Amino acid sequence: METITLRGYRTSDAQAVSRLFRTIYGDHYAQPHVYLPRMISQNHADGRWHSLVAVANDQVAGHATLILDKQSSIAELALSVVDPQNRGQNIATQLSRRLLTHAQALGYRGVTIKQVTHHPYSQKMAARLGFQNTGLLPDHAPSPFGGVLTESLVLGYVPVDGFQRPLPALTWPDECREFMQQLCDVFGTQLNVAPWIGAPAQLEQRWGRYDGVFSEVDESLLKQLQQLPTHWLISIRLRLAQGFDTAWRRLSTTGFVFSGLAPDDKGEGWLALFHRGFQPKSLTLHCPHMQRLHDDMQQRIAPLADFQICGNRP
């Protein structure tokens, strides 16, 4: 078996890293920067990426990255890829575990990971690394495996040693109480809600998906959301705070489906995830909590999908 060496990324690795992504994913990887070696090096020079590579026989055989944001206390573990000839040696896990240590040294308080659902490998790796799955991101990005289907992702989070991110002690709707209590058991709770940082309302588009981030959903905003085109895929991240149960019901009655939580990358709190317009899809997930959440989401959108199908018939 070849000797595998892990080391920090060097500017001279850019061509090899780009070639590795193209070898495995062809032209389908959702992050276009991996196809331009200059962008790979620029992201490192600017401090946006912090990467490690695995080297076998003087060739780059694996790569993983911490995506960094100087305005955030959270890093993202991403861009993990291993040469098919070197699989089965836990290279991705070794790279990722070392990067989690680097995240602490770099001053970050937690790390997220987005796990593909097309296969179970990244989900199993995240579990080995200690990530707690907190939510689902349906139809989140173009599939890295080609075709016209989008990739749904499992969102995981792990706090860096010494830092906690408790959930606010709230009243949970009956429909999601078991799921929320499970996360409370993992992360703990606190009476105070973390302060909101940033604009109270944001809406951006990426990959045909409309991403909203809101500090609250009142009746006025709810009416405006209802008036958005019905064919839009809309993802909402809503501050987890007092009144969540009311917001949950308001959004649920207008076609939005709850899909878990995400850590607030601008502050110390949590965001509730809601989605509207994603397609029904059967998934087999490694995490039983995520499987139950996914199955519940599918049941909630089934009546709406049936109505739309009937409505489109001549």
**pLDDT bucket at 186, cuts 50 / 70 / 90:** very high
The whole domain housing 253 covers: 167-311
Q: Which among 134, 159, 184 is the end of a domain?
A: 159
Cα 184 to Cα 172, 187, 189, 285: the distances in Å are 11, 5, 6, 22
Higher-confidence position of 82 and 149: 82
Residue 303 is predicted with a pLDDT of 61
Q: Which runs of E-coded beta strand occur in the chain? A: 4-8, 49-56, 59-67, 74-82, 110-116, 132-142, 150-159, 167-168, 189-190, 201-206, 209-214, 233-239, 257-263, 270-276
Kindly state whether residues 147 and 173 are assigned to the same domain. Answer: no
On whether the CB atoms of residues 187 and 165 are closer than 8 A, the answer is: yes
Kindly state whether residues 35 and 52 are assigned to the same domain. Answer: yes
Kindly state whether residues 172 and 150 are assigned to the same domain. Answer: no
Kindly state whether residues 191 and 286 are assigned to the same domain. Answer: yes
Kindly state whether residues 19 and 114 are assigned to the same domain. Answer: yes
CATH (domain of 24): 3.40.630.30
Per-residue pLDDT tens for 234-251?
999 999 999 999 999 999
Q: Which among 104, 125, 159 is the end of a domain?
A: 159
**pLDDT bucket at 120, cuts 50 / 70 / 90:** very high
The whole-number average pLDDT for the span 127-145 is 94
On whether the CB atoms of residues 22 and 144 are closer than 8 A, the answer is: no
Kindly state whether residues 134 and 188 are assigned to the same domain. Answer: no
Kindly state whether residues 155 and 176 are assigned to the same domain. Answer: no
CA distance 114 to 198: 24
Kindly state whether residues 176 and 284 are assigned to the same domain. Answer: yes
Cα 314 to Cα 231, 302, 310: the distances in Å are 19, 21, 9
Per-residue pLDDT tens for 22-78?
999 999 999 999 999 999 999 999 999 999 999 999 999 999 999 999 999 999 999
Domain count, the chain: 2
CA distance 270 to 5: 38
Kindly state whether residues 150 and 197 are assigned to the same domain. Answer: no
pLDDT over 70 percentage in the chain: 95
Kindly state whether residues 147 and 207 are assigned to the same domain. Answer: no
**pLDDT bucket at 148, cuts 50 / 70 / 90:** low
**Mean pLDDT over all residues of the chain?**
93
On whether the CB atoms of residues 133 and 156 are closer than 8 A, the answer is: yes
Kindly state whether residues 190 and 94 are assigned to the same domain. Answer: no
pLDDT at 306 over 70: no
The whole-number average pLDDT for the span 264-282 is 95
DSSP H or E stretch at residue 58: none
Kindly state whether residues 73 and 154 are assigned to the same domain. Answer: yes
Residue 145 is predicted with a pLDDT of 77
Q: Is the Cα torsion angle 240, 241, 245, 247 positive or negative in sign? A: negative
Residue 310 is predicted with a pLDDT of 41
